[in-house]
Each structure stands twice: as structure tokens, then as C-alpha cells.
Structure 1
Amino acid sequence: MAVVESASGAPTTGPPARSRTRDLQITLPAVAIAMIGAACFLGPLVLPIPAPTGGSVLESYLPSFSAGHPLGTDPNGNDILSRILHGGRSSLIITLAVNGLGLVIGGALGALSGHLGGIADTVIMRVLDVLIAFPSLVLVLAVAQSLGPSRTNTILALTFFSVPAFARISRAATLRLREQPFMAAAELCGTSSGRILLRHLAPNVLPQLITFAMLGMGIIIVIEGALSFLGLGIPMPAPSWGNMIAQGQQSLSATPMLVVWPCVALFVTVLAFNLLGESLRSRWSGR
């Protein structure tokens, strides 16, 4: 614990103000994300809200704060709060799966490419460069269109978008680590490539990949919402923030809250992930 002086000049003990600010910058968005996750995964189990589908048309277009429907209902009489929570669950599952696959596959390819070098490095990176050369959203749309709308196909389509980015970050970090003395010592001791990758490279590369994954969470959520908005992600009547916005924009002038509520959920979630990712980047970079 650092020793600092009070206003009167007497020394006091306490963490530096800058450290406390950094901790707060990480804690606040992390708590927000935890609350969003708890609401989406546990909310439908404990809150007295109806199912996200199967509503009655007799209760369609109920306004916000109606009895039994805190955020109102959609054109089919489905509860908007229930659909937002279930849609958030789908978005978080897709985002975690895409970033998890991107981190594992892309991280492994980048580390392997940077560690082996030579022909292996050239082949792996040129293949990834081909994927990066395509406009990302166009590539995702093409893959999603060819596979068809579903949660699994959305994950596969978005994984094409994430793997090359993770691989390049992992390779760059691996190339920097190759110059470190502990890497040279491990190679001189005859340590196998697999052990070097797992015991020496992975712990040092992983923080950078996790930081990028946090920033990528928001991007993936937005792209998943765009795919669902276009009818290429989560198909109706299953809830998704994207298809809820698409449904609401058909009657935007008469019932704007059908669009406002899922947009607010999307905005808050993406903002929380971006703030957490930026705070982690600052912490691990020492800024």
C-alpha cells in the first residue's frame, strides 16, 4: 500500500488515486455486464413475465407500463420485456461463442505462425490475409445467406469474421515474445514447441486476446443484430434485438417504443463491453 500525504501534510496510507480510478473504470462496466447477464439468463426464471412467444393478438400494441406488461406488447401480443431478455440471452450466447472460437482458433493459429516462422508462417498468414481482404460485413452476409438463418449458422458466419483478427494479434504478440531471453532459454533447453506454446506463449498472449475479445463483444452484438434485422440471423418468432427493431420499424410513427426498448438494451450492452475492453487495455498496457 502506497504512502501519501494528506492536505495537512501528515502521511496517510491508501492506494494511489490513479489506481482507484482504474479499478473503478473496470468495476463499473463489469458490474453492468454481470447485471445484464443475470437479467437475461435468470430474469425469465424468477420474474413474473410471460413467454416471449405465443401472445394473444387481443393484447397487441399495449403501451409501456401496462398491467402485466411493464414494457408493453408487440403486434402479436408478445411481452416486450420477455422478448428483450430472451433476445439478450441469444445475443450473449452468440457473442461468447464467436469470441471464444475466434480466441481459441485464431489465437492458436497466430501463435503457431509466429513461433514456427518460415513457410508455415507465410502459408497461414496469407490464407488469413485473403479472408481479411474481403469486406467483413459483406463476407458475413454471404456466409449467413448461404447457410440460412439460425443461431448456429450465425455463430459460424461471425466466426469467419473474428478468427483472422485474433490470429494477427496473437502472431504480433508472439513475434515480440520470441526476442525475450526466457524464450531463447526454453529453446536452448530443448523444450518442445507444444510446451513452449502452452507454458510460455499462452500466458503472455492471453491478456491481449482477452482485451480484444471484450472490445469485440460489442462489435459482434451489433453485427448479430444487423443480421437479425435483415432476416439472416435469429429467425422470427424467436426473439432477437435485431428482429425486434425490424418488426418495430414497420409501425415506428405510431408505436416508437417497440424500437426504443431493444435499441436501449443494445446500446447499454455494447457500451458496457466497450468500456470494459478499453479499461482492460489501459490496465495491461500500463497507461
Structure 2
Amino acid sequence: MTPRRTATPASTAATARRWRPWAALVLLGVPLLTALAGPWTAGDDGPGEGALPSRPPGGGHPLGTDVLGRDVLALVLHGGASVVGSALAALAVGLAAGVPLGLLAAGARHGVDEAVMRTLDLFLAFPGLLVLMTLAATGHRDRLWLVAVAGVLQVPAVARLVRAAALAPGSRTVVEALRMQGHGWAYVHLRHLARELAAPLATDAGGRLPVVLYLLASANFLGLGLPASSPDWAVLIERNRDALFTQPAVVLVPAGLLTSLCVGGNLLVDRALARRRTAP
């Protein structure tokens, strides 16, 4: 009788390590592929209207219909590009402004450091939803304003992260050594420290993506950025939230795609950082 093999903790961990990058690629690739290729697959006609609202899957609608009687599958295929593009653009704005400010605070004199950080603390104290409500009240409702404000709201947190990483003891030792070698501020902070900050910034960006998506969904609820009839995934979730129990697909499918996007991105970043740590 052949003895049964039992999985050891080491073999189980090795299997998990082998599957983790593929799981990350699948989780990240499905929503990205849906966002990029969805409009081409569904065609240019859009989801249309005319069916009964909030109907379950069937009758020519594989995922049912939404509260306006539109085909949910067509909405999902058409609505990914806007939310993914807006979230990535807002993250880019936050990084583009936050990284230089954090480096400036870390490498400047004490008075400049205090001025920069205390000013950013004022922005950090403002609730994001309050800023969005003010934006809506002043009539700035187009997507460009929404992306810009969502990105600016990320600047204080990004700058604080960069400053803390740049002021770490290990970083300061290398900085002092480079200064003693005659290298200037631009070389030390914009070339050396920028490379050292890549790992924490990548990790922070992965965790910040859900925050940006939440802000965009909240803004759409306030009537900012996109109209209520837009097929955008965030708008679709917000507009159909009351139909969660009667027609769950209209909420769960776009919510699942957004969750897959965030989880897959974080797993891929963690995998890349783990390989960087173990590299010789």
C-alpha cells in the first residue's frame, strides 16, 4: 500500500508563492482588460434603454438591467475606462505634487520644513467630502476639476510619507556621505533619494487607490464629474445601491471589478518588492 503524502508547511508556502504572481496578474488584468477592451467588444451603440428596470439576468440581458432599464453587461463593458483613468490620473497628481514637497521638507532648513509641513497639515485636516461638496456648490462639476481635487487631497499624505522616509536614519547617513563627496541638493534628493523612495511609494500607491476610488464614487453621488446616467462603474454602484437585493448583479459585478483592481494591484506591488528584497 502506497503511503499517502501529506503537504508540509514548506511545500504549501512554495505553492502559494508560485501561484501568487499569477493570481495578482489575473485580478489586475481582468478589470483592466474590461476597461480597455470593453467598449470595443460591446460596440459603439451603448447600453440603450427600453427594458423593464431592475430585472434579473435573462431575456436577452445576461446580467439583467439597471434602474433605468439598461443592459448591465453593456454598462459594465462601457464604464471601466472612465473610473480607471480618473483614479490613475488623480494618483499621478498626488504623486507629482507630493513627492517634491516631501523631498523639499526633508532637505530644507528647519524653518522651511515647518512651513511646508504645517501648511500641508491644514490641507490634511479638511475632510475630503467637505471639499467635494464645496466644489459642487461653486459649480465646478466637470471631470477635470474632480480629478484635480481628488489628486490634491492625496498630496499631504504622500508628502508626509516621503519626508519620513527621507529622514530615516539609514537615508540620512547616505545623504551626509554624498554631501561630503561634494554632491549637490538636486543630485542627493532628486536622484539618490528618489530611487530609495520607489518601494514605499509603490506600496502607498497600492493602498491609496481604494481611497481615490471612494472619493470618486462619493463625488459622483454629489453630481460631480459624471452625470447620473453615465455607465461609469462607480456611478453604476451608487445609482443602483437600492437594488442590491432585487438585482444584485448590477452592484456586485462593478464592485467586484473595482475590488479586483485594488487587490490585484496591491498583490503585484508586494510581489515586486519581495523579489527586490531577495535579489542578490
Q: Which bracket does the TM-score occupy, shorter chain normalised?
A: 0.7 to 0.9
1:64 pairs with 2:45 = no
Please list every run of 5 or more consecutive structure 2 residues that lacks an aligned counterpart in the other structure. Answer: none
State the partner residue of 2:183: 191
Contact residue 38 and residue 78 of structure 2 kept, 8 A: no
Tell me how far 1:281 sits from its aligned partner.
6.8
Tell me the secondary structure at the aligned position of residue 227 of structure 2. Answer: coil
Residues 82-140 of structure 1, C-alpha deviations (whole Å, 9 max, x = no match): 22233221111111111111112101110111012322211111110101122233234
Q: Who is 1:161 aligned against?
A: 153
For residues 178 and 15 of structure 2, the distance between their equivalents in structure 1, rounded to whole angstroms, comes to 38
Which stretch has the larger CA shift, 247-256 or 166-175?
A: 247-256
- Does the C-alpha gap of structure 1 residues 84 and 114 become closer, same or farther in structure 2, counting only changes over 3 Å? same
For residue 30 of structure 2, what is the aligned residue in structure 1? 35
Q: Within 5 Å, which residues of 2 pair with 1:193-212?
A: 193-212=185-204
Q: Say whether 1:82 aligns with 2:85.
A: no
2:261 is the alignment partner of 1:269? yes
Q: Determine what percentage of the aligned residue pairs are the same residue.
A: 28
Q: Counterpart of 1:227?
A: 219
* Residue 84 (structure 2) pairs with residue 92 (structure 1): yes
* Cα distance in structure 2, aligned partners of 1:164 and 1:33: 27
After superposing the two structures, state which structure 1 stretch, 255-264 or 201-210, moved more. Answer: 255-264
- Aligned residue identity for 1:39: T
Counterpart amino acid of residue 90 in structure 1: S
Provide the C-alpha distance between the structure 2 equivalents of 1:140 and 1:253, rounded to a whole number of angstroms.
Answer: 29
Task: Give the secondary structure class of the aligned counterpart of 1:243.
Answer: helix
Distance (Å, rounded) in 1 between the aligned partners of 2:17 and 2:218: 33
In 1: Cα distance, 2:137 partner to 2:121 partner: 23
Post-superposition CA distance 1:39-66 (Å, at most 9, x none): 1111221x2456335x142575554244
| 1:218 lines up with 2:210 in the alignment | yes
Please give the alpha-carbon distance, in whole angstroms, between the structure 2 residues aligned to 1:262 and 1:76: 16
The residue type paired with residue 32 of structure 1 is L
TM-score by length of 2: 0.81
Note if contact 2:102-2:161 (Cα within 8 Å) is conserved in structure 1. Answer: yes
**8 Å contact from structure 1 (residues 29, 273) kept in 2:** yes
Contact 2:42 2:77 in 1 (8 A): no
Alpha carbons of structure 1 residues 37 and 253: separation in structure 2 relative to 1, 3 Å? closer
User: How far apart in 1 are the matches of 2:110 and 2:268?
Assistant: 37
Structural mapping, 1:236-247, within 5 Å: 236-247=228-239
- Equivalent pairs counted in the alignment come to 269
User: What residue is the counterpart of 1:51 in the other structure?
Assistant: 45
Relative distance call for 1:65 and 1:265 in structure 2 (3 A) is farther
Conservation of the 8 A alpha-carbon contact between 1:40 and 1:88: yes
For the pair 1:171 / 2:166, whether they are aligned, the reply is no
Code of the residue aligned with 2:30 in structure 1: it is M
RMSD of the TM alignment (CA)?
3.1
Check the 8 A contact 1:144/1:154 in 2, yes or no.
no
Per-residue CA deviations over 1:138-191 (Å, capped at 9, x if unaligned) read 2344335435333212201211221111100000011115422x3222212222
Q: Name the structure, 1 or 2, with higher relative contact order (CA <8 Å, separation 6+).
A: 2
- Which letter does structure 2 place at the counterpart of 1:35? V
- Tell me by how many angstroms 1:226 deviates: 2.2
Change (3 A) 1:23 1:96: farther
